[in-house]
Structure 1
């Protein structure tokens, strides 16, 4: 049955069938062809995949991020970031990265981060004399930070799949997100020196304080979310609901840029995105059940153990597998399918499940920047349609190389990502 499933899945992917439908149809086809189990189990497993209270955090965080985006949050974060790093050579590029880091702490979505920040910063960089390909490549790469800094939708998916603490995963994602941001700023600085990109005018204390005052309500949302979770006030799912209410209050009564029209538009956008993710999670859960029934996780673990004779080699091999997978499969689906497969191996080698969550999410996040799936590439390319996809890929290559270097550091120096989680003990 597993052979049929993989064959059908590859065929559907080659035919460019949407990933959620491809996973579902290949699972259904494999069960139908094998005649080993009744077909009603497909529907049962699809329902089981979504029957989870913690999973409710995903659509709620999407709604909160969409509301904050519509409520004028992007320009305030960009203005605040500009007052911090703008005067440095390549200042606008650094503002883009820093603004993505701020917005990541609100949205939890990489494509949303690309659109919210890129729609403002890409035209601004081009007008200031930055090369188009560099500007688009930068925002495509910086958007990856959107799924690392909490709240992070993939970390929620991983926590549910692997029965790991979502709160600890959120904490563990902070350092990787900051590391990615600093790396991209370093690249931007050297590009600026080489190509003559100037910084912005030096801000005054008054302008800095004004920009901070305007952005403080936006910056307060992650503080409330994380503080509430780690303070034991509410669960991650309840934190997502609080974030929605907070977004409505800030958008309507403080920034006063959220209207009924764009509020309903935000609900609709979040609903479509949630439905897409929900379909992928449900279908991936069904596929994961088939693979487990066929003992694929056990067989894969045995095969990898025969090759990898040390923790170092095991992690290197897993990184290679995940990097390739990230190029071909949607992030959440890959977590649900591959997480249980790797679980016996990480238990055998005493790898911390939170640390492995960081490794897995960072690996698959890099896939957002790599063809043929490369969601961030396509979204960023849509901001400057006169560029070809190959130009965007070429421009994003230096950022991808640094991202892989960061991945290796995070893989073999676990205390970097686990340090903040140890503070909770």
Structure 2
């Protein structure tokens, strides 16, 4: 993980003797070893439980009635422990681009406050979370018939461990004066908001701007991790402007992190790492590079094509990027491509491939709006090609003068040989899609079939399976899962706060009265979802606004699959565009490129995506051509 997108980025001086910092360092390392080991084990157990569920149901016609329930319980523990590991490894996404604008004296203080602000939230929410877990002990789970407290206890446990890790980070700042200054300023900010509480209540909807725009923006631009920026804004809004018990916020955090559909995230992330480790991704990319590597901008075309293919395998944008970037980027840099351009294109392809099945966002839309998931899967392939063509146009323009005098052109025989080697890897997306369409596995479980297929191919066909890499891969899977799911949980709590304020009802009512018929409605939807995608993340935005807006779209004469594609691309553009887009920072983290380097290149790609989106919105046939009528 690049330290440029880290949540905490501090220098650790070498201590002498048993200083407090050395003691904290030892305790921190010991805690990290235990938490990483448990989190890695949970990923492995999830894979085994779900694969066992698929096998017994489809092969032996004897379903394990408890497998989904156990997987759901373990998933919350995995997400919380993964979030702890992400904090230890400085892997929580944050924005550091604005920090360069501050002077040499102010910047260390802001870096320190990026440590103390999460600590403040964790201290504020810990007691309500503990209370929530105690309340849950009276609920008995239907299949396993155990107390739900076993599941809910993951929340206070994870938050307490994050608090401990945060305190260790405070010790590691290297300067007690800096740590005390940051702590005092954070405490003063919390105190001021608390004292101003009576002033907020009469302001009504203005509070939405103060907390969900103002507080979020200040925290994000100051370098506070994005998940904690959302959480602090939501906590402040609910506790200072409403009479909502804080138990409700914890419940929404739990709900956001507990969608069984999200269990696909760690499994697809692991699958993405597995296809890289077994050589399957390399085989696919080498074949594409043999076809296109000798043309100007060829490897950029390969990047776009590989993301299109791999999206069908992994279903997680982070996993897609993690499978491709390490293979293509070294050769692209050798040919003189600026790292900023590479990360900008990688981020843009993340938005472009959001509709390629088994996209987690497609699955979520199907689950909350009742639109057929099979229809969404059929409708997603062609729109992604249209946006891909728009990106190809930018690549052609940027690389039209590239010097390829040192690049050889492979023979047809060589291309044929690489095609045969790549065939098992290229078949994987079709195996996954067939398993969903034929009803062998659910969209959540299908990744386990992909994992089994990839393991067999790696062991028997590619003869490339490094057992020593399994544990680091499992830990990395848990880390990325924790960082992603914790953001989703915090965003879901924020989305609930917006719903309670009446904002979503007002928005739906306003959008229903827009002039211009279906095209006017689509135009406003595009603008709204670009903004929502950048602030709320895709899944919470869909969970919040999907049930409200899809019926309005139908009334306006917009086909629901067409509307889904437009909405997903709009959210994707928001999600993968700086300054707010979390996906952009994910691309930077995986590429190990500073976010600032990509800023001057990303504009062209985002403009191309927007033009592609307008084409998709204007021509419904692109989305509905392959949808079964």
- The verdict on a shared fold, with TM-score over 0.5 as the criterion, is yes
Taking a change above 3 Å as real, the CA distance of residues 370 and 292 of structure 1, as seen in their structure-2 partners, is closer
User: How far apart are 1:50 and its partner, in Å?
Assistant: 4.2
For residue 407 of structure 1, what is the aligned residue in structure 2?
613
User: How far apart are 1:314 and its partner, in Å?
Assistant: 1.4
Give the distance between the partners of 2:241 and 2:311, measured in 1 at CA. 44
Q: Which moved more, 1:210-219 or 1:50-59?
A: 50-59
Give the distance between the partners of 1:13 and 1:205, measured in 2 at CA. 54
User: How far apart are 1:388 and its partner, in Å?
Assistant: 6.7
Structure-1-length-normalised TM-score: 0.87
Give the distance between the partners of 1:83 and 1:156, measured in 2 at CA. 34
Q: 2:499 aligns with which of 274, 283, 292?
A: 292
2:56 matched to 1:56? no
Q: Which moved more, 1:359-368 or 1:51-60?
A: 51-60
Preserved contact between residue 167 and residue 236 of structure 1 (Cα < 8 Å): no
User: How far apart are 1:52 and its partner, in Å?
Assistant: 3.9
Give the distance between the partners of 1:411 and 1:196, measured in 2 at CA. 37
For residue 211 of structure 2, what is the aligned residue in structure 1?
8
2:450 matched to 1:269? no
Q: 1:80 aligns with which of 280, 284, 287?
A: 287
User: How far apart are 1:65 and its partner, in Å?
Assistant: 1.7
2:340 matched to 1:137? no
Q: 2:461 aligns with which of 238, 254, 265?
A: 254
Preserved contact between residue 329 and residue 373 of structure 1 (Cα < 8 Å): no
For residue 234 of structure 1, what is the aligned residue in structure 2?
441
Preserved contact between residue 104 and residue 150 of structure 1 (Cα < 8 Å): yes
Q: Where do 5+ consecutive residues of structure 1 fail to align? A: none
Q: What does 1:103-252 correspond to in 2, within 5 Å?
A: 103-197=310-404, 200-252=407-459
Preserved contact between residue 86 and residue 199 of structure 1 (Cα < 8 Å): no
Give the RMSD, CA atoms, in angstroms.
3.0
Structure-2-length-normalised TM-score: 0.61
2:601 matched to 1:395? yes
Taking a change above 3 Å as real, the CA distance of residues 351 and 256 of structure 1, as seen in their structure-2 partners, is same
**Greater relative CO (CA pairs within 8 A, separation 6+):** 1
Give the distance between the partners of 2:432 and 2:591, measured in 1 at CA. 34
After superposition, give the CA deviation of every residue in 1:3-30 in whole Å (9 maximum; x if it has no partner).
5455323303421243333334433433
SS where residue 216 of structure 1 aligns? helix
Q: Where do 5+ consecutive residues of structure 2 fail to align? A: 1-203
Q: What does 1:333-412 correspond to in 2, within 5 Å?
A: 333-375=540-582, 377-378=584-585, 381=588, 389-412=595-618
For residue 275 of structure 2, what is the aligned residue in structure 1?
68
Taking a change above 3 Å as real, the CA distance of residues 63 and 382 of structure 1, as seen in their structure-2 partners, is closer
Preserved contact between residue 9 and residue 22 of structure 1 (Cα < 8 Å): no
SS where residue 399 of structure 2 aligns? helix
Taking a change above 3 Å as real, the CA distance of residues 47 and 329 of structure 1, as seen in their structure-2 partners, is closer
User: How far apart are 1:364 and its partner, in Å?
Assistant: 1.7
User: How far apart are 1:198 and its partner, in Å?
Assistant: 6.2
Give the distance between the partners of 1:121 and 1:271, measured in 2 at CA. 25
Q: Which moved more, 1:239-248 or 1:327-336?
A: 327-336
After superposition, give the CA deviation of every residue in 1:294-320 in whole Å (9 maximum; x if it has no partner).
432221122233443422111111111
For residue 77 of structure 2, what is the aligned residue in structure 1?
none
User: How far apart are 1:222 and its partner, in Å?
Assistant: 0.9
Taking a change above 3 Å as real, the CA distance of residues 12 and 141 of structure 1, as seen in their structure-2 partners, is closer
Give the distance between the partners of 1:321 and 1:169, measured in 2 at CA. 21
Preserved contact between residue 377 and residue 392 of structure 1 (Cα < 8 Å): no
Give the distance between the partners of 1:420 and 1:160, measured in 2 at CA. 21
SS where residue 421 of structure 1 aligns? coil
Taking a change above 3 Å as real, the CA distance of residues 128 and 291 of structure 1, as seen in their structure-2 partners, is closer
Give the distance between the partners of 1:289 and 1:384, measured in 2 at CA. 33
